[in-house]
Amino acid sequence: MEKSLESKFAALKAQGLSIDLTRGKPGADQLDLSNALLSMEVFSQTPSGVDVRNYGEPLGILEARTLGASLLSAPVEKTLVGEQSSLLLIYQLILANYLFGLKTPWKDQENLKFICPVPGFDRHFRLLEDFGIEMLTIPLTGSGIDMKVFNALLQEHENIKGIVCVPRHSNPTGDTYSDENITAMLEAGQSYSEEFLFIFDHAYLLHDFLPSPDQTPTWELITRSGAEDQAAVFCSFSKVTFGGGGLAFASAGMPVFNLLARQRASMIVCSDKANQLRHVQFLKDQTGVIEQMKKHAEIVRPKFELAFAALDVVNPEIGTYLKPTGGYFISYNAKRPIAARVIELCKDVGVLITPAGSTYPHFYDPLDSNIRLAPTFLGMDELKVALEVFVTALMIAHQEAA
Ligand SMILES: Cc1ncc(COP(=O)(O)O)c(C=O)c1O
């Protein structure tokens, strides 16, 4: 190891750090933006006359459905409010297809497959793995999925049941899919099979922190392509109000919507309507949500800018990344197969980074190259140190692999 790197690494280690850069969680100052929710008086009746203290309204109170529908640009009657987790709603949709299906239950079919853009969200992979669904990976281009690979997979494979993707500020790459990309995907998937399921996980729908590409609402693209009956769009307030304490929404064409609602009806009588009303009272409408997200952006942007400044000094021969303009992550690609080693070195110094391979199905990154950085949770001082550790570890691992 180069002497200067060696002494820098030793000096960092001597600090006895304990910093967690793993999960994309909002910082405490972001959570403070929603403190009013903790002490807010919630009315017992909704404006539409529903008693939020009792059972009923399994699809959610009208006011919350209306808010979700406006965010997803979808019709209210095709939008439901779940509990606090969009991941849970996606899980329930896969389960519903597995048990019942739009035509044939997936459980009665063999060799189930799904298309997964990579690097991607580890929990999408875990979810599909739970059902024994084979994951066919597809690269991202910076503005969506690689359509050449998508078309080739459709040609090559039978029984692909659908795709799960994050079309805005994708986790972790930051891809915002172009309208052309989404439309091409919708057209190719529909031609492949009328049961091909499009799952759009809009976890970062409103989470811009820098000027971001314009995007036609996904629901509108779905409708224009005639793909309503095989599509569902999800979002949540997990990173709008409280992580794991917000509301989750799904909009879907009627067959998919009914399938999801039927599955949910076996699991839960209704979700927490008081929390739904509390959120409506707090955020009010789409404009209220957008205003709240501007406040998040003010807090999050300096953290990403700090990270960009630290990463931009690294020689591009060591690794590269695309600057996200929203979302919660930076996806760093080392040129040499050193991701696991970098993360090990960071851990040795007391900085935890998401395990290598997490952004690929079965934790297998074939190039051992991708590292997911999550800058939002830390304060600026800790983040600065964590990035210094990361960059030092990167340089050391790169030299070692020469
Ligand atoms: C792409 C993506 N989808 C879903 C989630 C989880 O959302 P929720 O809290 O609504 O389940 C996350 C959170 O990290 C995410 O990155």
pLDDT at 299 over 90: yes
Q: Look at residue 30 and tell me if it is in a domain.
A: no
Q: Is residue 390 part of a domain?
A: yes
Query: Is the CB–ligand 1 distance for residue 360 below 6 Å?
Result: no
Adjacent-strand bridge partners of 334: 319
Domain boundary among 222, 249, 283: 283
| Domain final residue, candidates 238, 255, 283 | 283
Assess whether the C-beta atom of 332 lies below 6 angstroms from ligand 1: no
Q: Are residues 73 and 210 in the same domain?
A: yes
Instruction: Classify burial at 309, counting beta carbons within 10 Å of its beta carbon; exposed 0-12, middle 13-18, buried 19 or more.
Output: exposed
Residue 96 counted as domain residue? yes
- According to DSSP, residue 358 is labeled T
48 CA → ligand 1 middle, Å? 30
Three-class SS state of 127: helix
Look at residue 1 in the predicted model and tell me its pLDDT: 66
Of 283, 312, 336, the position where a domain reaches its end is 283
Ligand 1 pocket test: pick from 72, 84, 93, 121 the residue with the most ligand atoms within 8 Å of its Cβ. Answer: 121
CATH number of the domain enclosing 54: 3.40.640.10
Tell whether 235 and 106 lie within a shared domain: yes
Read off the tokens for 135: 């994951």
What is the C-alpha separation between 292 and 271, in angstroms, rounded? 24
- The structural domain count of the chain equals 2
Q: 376 CB less than 6 Å from ligand 1?
A: no
Residues 279 and 294 in one domain: no
Q: Which two tokens stand for residue 347?
A: 């851990």
Name the nearest CA neighbour of 323 among 210, 166, 182, 180.
Answer: 210
Looking at the fold, whether 20 and 94 belong to one and the same domain comes out as: no
**Same domain flag for 202 and 305:** no
**Tokens coding 239:** 């990173």
Share of the chain above pLDDT 90, in %: 98
Residue 154 lies in a domain: yes
Output the pLDDT for position 3. Answer: 76
Domain containing 364: what range? 3-24+289-400
- Six-digit token pair at 232? 């569902």
pLDDT digits (tens, 9 = 90+) for 225-282: 999 999 999 999 999 999 999 999 999 999 999 999 999 999 999 999 999 999 999 9
| Residues 278 and 294 placed together within one structural domain of the fold | no
Return mean pLDDT, the chain.
97
Indicate whether 29 belongs to any domain: no
The CATH number of the domain holding residue 314 is: 3.90.1150.10
Cα 94 from Cα 271, distance rounded (Å) = 20
Ligand 1 binding pocket includes 374 (Cβ within 6 Å): no
Q: 273 and 324: one domain?
A: no
Indicate if 294 and 258 belong to the same structural domain. no
Same domain? 274 vs 295 = no
345 by DSSP, 3-state: which?
helix
Question: Is residue 63 within 8 Å of residue 46, measured between CB atoms?
Answer: yes
Cα–Cα nearest to 166, from 234, 266, 98 = 234
- With 0-12 / 13-18 / 19 or more C-beta atoms within 10 angstroms meaning exposed / middle / buried, residue 347 is middle
Indicate whether residue 172 lines ligand 1 (CB < 6 A).
no
Is the CB–ligand 1 distance for residue 203 below 6 Å? yes
Give me the pLDDT at residue 23, please.
80
User: Does residue 217 sit in the same domain as residue 317?
Assistant: no
Residues 246 and 321 in one domain: no
Specify whether 268 is located in the same domain as 306. no
The rounded percent of the chain whose pLDDT value lies above 70 is 100
Whole-angstrom Cα Rg for the chain: 22
What is the Cα–Cα distance from 239 to 110, expressed in whole angstroms? 37
Using the structure block, give the residue that is written with the tokens 């808010």: 67
Report the candidate in 233, 165, 240, 250 with the shortest Cα–Cα distance to residue 208. 240
pLDDT tens digits for 25-58? Answer: 999 999 999 999 999 999 999 999 999 999 999 9
Residue 234 located in a structural domain: yes
Could you identify the atom of ligand 1 that is nearest to the CA of residue 170?
A: 1
Token pair recorded at residue 359: 């952004």
Evaluate the omega torsion of the peptide bond into residue 172 and state whether it is cis, within 30 degrees of 0.
yes
